[in-house]
Amino acid sequence: MDLSAINPVLLIASLMVAATPLLLAAVGELVVERAGVLNLGVEGMMIVGAIGGFAVSVESGSPYLGLVAAMAAGAGLSLLFAFLTQFALANQVASGLALTLFGLGLSALMGQGYVGIKPPALGNIHIPVLSDLPVIGPILFGHDPVLYIGIALVAAVWAVLKYSRIGLVLRAVGENHEAAHALGYNVIRVRVLAIMFGGACAGLGGAYISLIRVPQWTEGMTAGIGWIALALVVFASWKPWRVLLGAYLFGGINVLQLNLQAAGIAIPVEYLAMSPYIITILVLVIMSADKSRAPASLGRIFHASQ
């Protein structure tokens, strides 16, 4: 075992990379849940985004086009969920599960021809001087653009929810859909848009894995990150900045266990590999004491009866 092989600067830089897909998916789901909808299909939307983005990048040669395609794929898939839950009034838990099962199958089907291919690379940004600074450079100024978009997205979601009219309406819909309807807000429209936003974020998060973090395509490569993103929203008590904190925490644990595996620590690989999931459970247990912050209409079906 050689722990000195773990470089703390690289560790922090890579934990930010590891956290980004989780962050993107979770901040999207946060918006969905604040609108009162529980979409358990995050994993499915992520994996479809992962292959959708991957395929378009490979075919077009442009990773940016791939990222856009991933968002479109995630949002497109989320429309299925939106249709089921908002128009067909289906149970949200069952519909979300269906979305994940369907998404996993669909991605495997789409990815048939893409196993073992290397996608076009999305370069890291390079700011002269700043990026070359020791320690701070690689941590703060040497990443790919999507990572910064992720952080900006958290800030944007926070500001919109807190200060804007649309954020207020979204929170109102999630809090009490009957009252929002009585005041003349279109509950269904707000929710469908929120679901699509969540889908686009999940799709982008998935593509981040297949295009930037790994980067290649393998079946089922999201490996539960979508589910951890759902847990993260609970962990964050539906607050954007705490999603960022939580994502970096999980990212850190994941990178650390990978580093420990590489360093050949005396713990079997399987036990290290299961640690992120066990820690997720532990965090859920700790956070479940605080239930009051969940949007009051979360998961309830809305039908304007009169």
Return residues touching another protein (CB under 8 A): 40, 80, 83-84, 88-91, 93-95, 97-98, 101-109, 112, 165, 168-169, 171-172, 175-176, 178-185, 219, 223-224, 227-228, 230-231, 234, 268, 270-271, 273-274, 277-278, 280-281, 284-285, 288-289, 291-292, 295-296, 303, 305-306
Of 31 and 180, which has the nearer Cβ to another protein?
Answer: 180
Of 101 and 136, which has the nearer Cβ to another protein?
Answer: 101
Of 27 and 231, which has the nearer Cβ to another protein?
Answer: 231
Where b means 16+ CB within 10 Å and e means fewer, 188-203 reads: bebbbbbbbbbbbbbb
Tokens of 217: 């395509």
- Kind and range of the H or E element at 10? helix 8-34
DSSP 3-state of 292 = coil
Of 146 and 230, which has the nearer Cβ to another protein?
Answer: 230
Of 138 and 174, which has the nearer Cβ to another protein?
Answer: 174
Distance of alpha carbon 288 from alpha carbon 285, whole angstroms: 5
Distance of alpha carbon 220 from alpha carbon 181, whole angstroms: 40
Rounded to a whole number of angstroms, the minimum distance from the CB of residue 95 to another protein is: 6
Rounded to a whole number of angstroms, the minimum distance from the CB of residue 272 to another protein is: 9
Asked if residues 143 and 125 have their Cβ atoms less than 8 Å apart, the reply is yes
Rounded to a whole number of angstroms, the minimum distance from the CB of residue 285 to another protein is: 5
Rounded to a whole number of angstroms, the minimum distance from the CB of residue 233 to another protein is: 10
Listing DSSP states for 51-88 in one string gives HHHHHHHHHHS-HHHHHHHHHHHHHHHHHHHHIIIIIS
Asked if residues 229 and 56 have their Cβ atoms less than 8 Å apart, the reply is no
Distance of alpha carbon 273 from alpha carbon 257, whole angstroms: 7
Rounded to a whole number of angstroms, the minimum distance from the CB of residue 89 to another protein is: 6
Of 13 and 234, which has the nearer Cβ to another protein?
Answer: 234
Rounded to a whole number of angstroms, the minimum distance from the CB of residue 23 to another protein is: 18
